[in-house]
Structures are given as structure tokens and as C-alpha cells.
């Protein structure tokens, strides 16, 4: 399992994060309690590594390497974090990641929504086979194109810049196009037709009518595109050369390579790298759920 399946699940994510809508089959007292404790036990392995990361990152250095380990930092300390910040320009890494992620999100939302809008609303010869091609490209493994793409970007002189990490997003990643297409298909067709009767061309209809309607879809795609960009490792590893251009992921990897024996610093930096994604997810969860639960994603 890898970064690749992330978008694949996006369509269902919101529906799944919500409890089933037509609750409940009554849970009988004892059976319900058994199931609840089973559920807690089953969820623990997913939560413990995060909790352990937080506990470890906040321990004074002496406790960090204690064995057997202590459970909680006593007292919580920012010693490790300060140590990491002293060695590497953390704000710079975070700013680089943010810049790339924001530009990628903007490129993705604009291009995928335009292309999805066209597939949903403009009948044309060749639309069906092209849509089939679009779906097929979702299944092309990224490793197939890795080497030639690298050659292409180095020929263009883009290696060492952010362009290879951003420009491809201008071309509407297939899965997000699919999501927008589903969304627009579920809007009443005459909405867009009446816009055209008013003299708007399809591009104007997309901008003035479709996009404002698509806010929940935009939110969902934006979150997934942001997370995908923020977590990307292979891209920055291939294309970024100078440490002051590194993303937080690449900077973190380079850091652990340089300070192998300073695990406590690496862990503190890991926490810094994870937090923005966790925050984005926590903040956006409700809006994604709200958007998708309105039924827009149903085929």
C-alpha cells in the first residue's frame, strides 16, 4: 500500500467517515459492550504509533533512550525540538512544502474541474473512448514513467527547480477529473444549458455557474491534493538538489541520514512534519463529509 491508493479512496472517504445514515439496529446491552471493547482494541494499533511519537518527541533526551522506556515524558520538554531547529532551517522547509503544495492544489483544482466539467456537460464525438482512456490512466503505475519523465525534465533544465513537482498538476490528474465529472453530472443539466442560453460560453458557464456549485468537491480534491503533495517523497528526492529548496519530507530524510545517531532529534522533526497534515485533515474532515454526504458523489 502506498501513496498511490490515496486518491483512489477519496470517492468513498466521506461516506465512510460518517456513521451509517440509517442507524440503528438496536445494540443489545452486553453484546454492544463487547463490540465496543473489541473496537477499541482493534483501533489501538493505529493510534499507538502516533501517541508514541508525541510522547517520544516531548521527552527530555535522557528519558528518550531509557530502556525499558517510560510511558510519558516527565516533565514534557521541547529539548529535542529545539535541538533539531538549531541544526536545520525548519521554517524554511515548511515554507517550501507549503509553497509547492499550495501551487499544486491550485493547479489541480483548476485543471481537473475544467476537464471534468467538459466530460460531464459537453457532448462530443470521441468523448466516450477518451473517458475510457482517462479511467485507464488511473491504473498506470507511476514507476512506469519515472525514468523517461526524469530524462524529459532534465532535458528541459527543470531539475533543481519546483517545476517538475508543480507543472504536471496543470494537466488534471485523472482521478480528480473523474471526481469532478461525477459531481457535475449530478447537477441538473439545464443549469448549464440555461447559462448558455444567456449567452455564456462553456468556459464562462464553468467559472460562473459550475465552480460556485462545486465548493464541496473542490474542498475534497484540495485536501487530497494538498496531502499528496505534502507527503510526496520520491518527487522531491529526484528533482530537488539544494538543501535550501528541500521540502519538509526530503529535509527530514536528509536529516536522519546526517544525524543517524541522534534519533531523538529525528523524531521531534517527524512530529513537526506530520502535524500540518493532521491539522488539515481534522479541520477539513467535516467539510469533506458534508460535501460528499449530500449525495453528489453517487454515480
Partner 1 sequence: MIARPARGGRLGLRPRERWFYLLIAPWLIGLVVFQAAPIAGAAALAFAEWAPPLPIEWVGTANFEAMLGDPRFWQAFGNTLVYGLGTVIPGLAIGLGLALLLRDQRRGGALMRGAVFLPAIVTGVATALVWGWILNPRFGLLNAVLGLVGIEGPAWLQDPAWAMPALIVMGLWNVGINVIVYLAALNTVPRELHEAAALDGAGRAGRFRHVVWPALTAITFYLAIVNAIGAFQVFTPTYLLTSGGPDGSTLTLALYTYQNAFDYGRLGYASALAIAVVVGLVVLTALQFRLAGRRVAYVGADG
Q: Which of residues 248-287 bind partner 1 (CB under 8 A)?
A: 249-250, 252-253, 256, 263, 266-267, 270-271, 273-274, 277-278, 281-282, 285
Per-position x/- string for 25-44, each x denoting binding to partner 1 as judged by CB under 8 A, each - no binding: x-x-------xx-xxx-xx-
Taking residue 127's Cβ as centre, other Cβ atoms within 10 Å add up to: 12
Hey, what's the cell of 127? 468523448
In angstroms, the CA 148 to CA 181 distance is 30
| For partner 1, the closer CB: 102 or 110 | 110
Q: How far is the CB of 102 from partner 1 (least distance, A)?
A: 18
x/- map, 208-247, partner 1, by CB under 8 A: -------------------x--xxxxx---x---------
CA 108, distance to chain mean position in Å, is 12
Site for partner 1 in 45-74 (CB under 8 A): 45-50, 52-53, 56, 64-69
Site for partner 1 in 154-213 (CB under 8 A): 168, 170-172, 174, 177, 182, 201-203, 206
Q: Is 295 in the site for partner 1 (CB under 8 A)?
A: no
To the nearest whole angstrom, how small is the minimum distance from the Cβ of residue 165 to partner 1? 13
Hunting for cell 517527524 — which residue is that? 270
Q: What Cα–Cα distance (Å) separates residue 233 from each residue in 227, 259, 279, 282, 297?
A: 12, 19, 20, 23, 30
In terms of CB distance, is 8 or 99 closer to partner 1?
Answer: 8
- 252, 273 in Cβ contact below 8 A? yes
Give the separation between CA 194 and CA 210, rounded to whole angstroms: 12
Out of 72, 87, 132, 146, name the contact with partner 1 by CB under 8 A: 146
Other C-beta atoms within 10 Å of 206: how many?
22
86-125 residues in contact with partner 1 (CB under 8 A) are: 111, 114-115, 117-119, 122-125
Cell of 161: 527547480
Q: How many residues sit in the footprint of partner 1 (CB under 8 A)?
A: 110
Task: Say if residues 224 and 292 touch (Cβ distance below 8 Å).
Answer: no
Residue (35 or 215) nearer to partner 1, CB: 35
Do residues 221 and 169 make contact, with C-beta atoms less than 8 angstroms apart? no
Amino acid at each position: 500500500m502506498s501513496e498511490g491508493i490515496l486518491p483512489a479512496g477519496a470517492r468513498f472517504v466521506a461516506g465512510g467517515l460518517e456513521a451509517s445514515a440509517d442507524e440503528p439496529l438496536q445494540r443489545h446491552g452486553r453484546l454492544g459492550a463487547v463490540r465496543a471493547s473489541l473496537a477499541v482494541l482493534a483501533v489501538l494499533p493505529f493510534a499507538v504509533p502516533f501517541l508514541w511519537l508525541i510522547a517520544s518527541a516531548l521527552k527530555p533526551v535522557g528519558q528518550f533512550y531509557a530502556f525499558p522506556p517510560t510511558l510519558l515524558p516527565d516533565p514534557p520538554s521541547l529539548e529535542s525540538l529545539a535541538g533539531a531547529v538549531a541544526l536545520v532551517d525548519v521554517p524554511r522547509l515548511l515554507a517550501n512544502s507549503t509553497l509547492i503544495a499550495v501551487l499544486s492544489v491550485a493547479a489541480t483544482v483548476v485543471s481537473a474541474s475544467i476537464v471534468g466539467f467538459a466530460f460531464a456537460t459537453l457532448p462530443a464525438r470521441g468523448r466516450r473512448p477518451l473517458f475510457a482512456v482517462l479511467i485507464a490512466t488511473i491504473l498506470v503505475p507511476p514507476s512506469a514513467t519515472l525514468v523517461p519523465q526524469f530524462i524529459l525534465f532534465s532535458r528541459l533544465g527543470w531539475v533543481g527547480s519546483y517545476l517538475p513537482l508543480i507543472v504536471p498538476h496543470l494537466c488534471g490528474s485523472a482521478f480528480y477529473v473523474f471526481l469532478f465529472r461525477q459531481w457535475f453530472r449530478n447537477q441538473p443539466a439545464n443549469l448549464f444549458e440555461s447559462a448558455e442560453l444567456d449567452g455564456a460560453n462553456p468556459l464562462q458557464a464553468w467559472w460562473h455557474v459550475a465552480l460556485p456549485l462545486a465548493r464541496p468537491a473542490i474542498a475534497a480534491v484540495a485536501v487530497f491534493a494538498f496531502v499528496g503533495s505534502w507527503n510526496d517523497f520520491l518527487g522531491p528526492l529526484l528533482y530537488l538538489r539544494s538543501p535550501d529548496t528541500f521540502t519538509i519530507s526530503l529535509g527530514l530524510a536528509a536529516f536522519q541520514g546526517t544525524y543517524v545517531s541522534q534519533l531523538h532529534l529525528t523524531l521531534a522533526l517527524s512530529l513537526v512534519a506530520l502535524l500540518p497534515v493532521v491539522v488539515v485533515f481534522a479541520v477539513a474532515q467535516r467539510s469533506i463529509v458534508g460535501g460528499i454526504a449530500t449525495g453528489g458523489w453517487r454515480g
